[in-house]
């Protein structure tokens, strides 16, 4: 856990970023979308929330940081609801409006499983199937928003936002394996996500649009990624299972906080 605490200390020294970002993920989003880059950011955050809620549900069921996991799930559901209203109101063309109408219907089914009963193994298959459907439509909306923007910076906002999702997706797969509910295909997806995260981190750091401040934040992510990736590589290892599960849970939250900040920084570029 040393790297976790070191990262938190660095965030605090940079102006309390860790505290601020923790709040930004659970307090109400802005009253409306304020431009296409903001739309890409919020659309991409919906992808992340689909995976974060599943991760929190799995953690709660296994007693992994359960009190925090329950709060994360509740806050994430509320934020997903608010942002869905904003994105539906902003949707600039018929195709995007259709995507968000479809997402609203699937989200209703997903929410029912999330809150319908206490997390247990018997409901895990339904939950994982629904989070995949929500993710697919949320990703579709993000890609459509990026295409609508038609600008290079839109791609970077999308990519940075996708890192948030991948951090939660990897932790979700780890926890599903720890609970004995992961399929072989899902474990393959974990390996794919690890590779994609590493590649995108390199691309974001090397992007000409990346400011010094953005690169500083990405360096914090890289430091935490080493710790997170090492833990992920031991998926299925039964030794110290509960300790390692909590390390994965906490590290995914640390990476999420910084990547949410980076995505916002890219979204504000002109």
* Consecutive H or E run containing 20: helix 17-24
Round the average pLDDT of the chain to a whole number and report it: 89
Q: Is the pLDDT confidence value at 72 over 90?
A: yes
Confidence bin at 68 (pLDDT 50/70/90): very high
Instruction: Pick the range with the lowest mean pLDDT from 6-15, 64-73, 229-238, 247-256.
Output: 6-15
What is the mean predicted confidence (pLDDT) over 199-210? Answer: 96
Q: Which residue has the higher pLDDT, 17 or 81?
A: 81
Structure tokens at 163: 């890192």
Per-residue pLDDT, 69:
97
Task: Give residues with Cβ within 8 angstroms of 156, minimum separation 6.
Answer: 204, 207, 209, 266, 269
> The whole model's pTM is what?
0.89
Tell me the mean pLDDT in the region 53-64. Answer: 97
Helices 152-178, 241-267: axis angle to 10 degrees equals 170
Q: Is the pLDDT of residue 203 over 80?
A: yes
Q: What is the pLDDT confidence band of residue 238, given thresholds at 50, 70 and 90?
A: confident
* pLDDT tens sequence across 151-185: 889 999 999 999 999 999 999 999 999 999 999 99
Q: Residue 117: its pLDDT value, please? A: 85
Q: Looking at the predicted structure, is the pLDDT value of residue 8 above 90?
A: no
CA distances (Å), origin 242, targets 23, 75, 101: 27, 24, 40
Distance of CA 144 to the CA centre of its chain: 19
């Amino acid at each position: 856990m040393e790297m976790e605490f070191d990262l938190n200390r660095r965030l605090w020294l940079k102006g309390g970023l860790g505290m601020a970002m923790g709040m930004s993920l659970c307090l109400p989003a802005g009253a409306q979308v304020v431009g296409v880059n903001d739309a890409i950011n919020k659309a991409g955050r919906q992808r992340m929330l689909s995976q974060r809620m599943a991760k929190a549900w799995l953690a709660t069921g296994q007693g992994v940081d359960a009190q925090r996991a329950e709060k994360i799930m509740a806050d994430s559901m509320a934020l997903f609801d608010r942002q869905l209203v904003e994105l539906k109101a902003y949707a600039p063309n018929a195709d995007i409006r259709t995507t968000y109408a479809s997402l609203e219907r699937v989200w209703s089914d997903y929410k029912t499983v999330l809150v319908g009963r206490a997390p247990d193994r018997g409901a895990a298959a339904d939950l994982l199937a629904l989070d995949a459907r929500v993710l697919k439509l949320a990703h579709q909306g993000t890609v459509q928003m990026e295409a609508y923007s038609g600008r290079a910076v839109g791609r970077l906002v999308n990519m940075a936002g996708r890192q948030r999702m991948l951090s939660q997706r990897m932790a979700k797969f780890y926890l599903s394996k720890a609970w004995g509910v992961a399929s072989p295909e899902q474990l393959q997806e974990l390996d794919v996500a690890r590779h994609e995260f590493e590649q995108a981190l390199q691309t974001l750091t090397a992007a000409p649009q990346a400011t010094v401040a953005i690169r500083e934040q990405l360096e914090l992510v890289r430091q935490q990624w080493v710790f997170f990736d090492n833990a992920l590589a031991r998926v299925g290892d039964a030794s110290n299972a509960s300790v390692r599960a909590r390390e994965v849970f906490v590290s995914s939250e640390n990476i999420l906080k910084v990547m949410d900040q980076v995505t916002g920084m890219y979204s504000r570029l002109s």
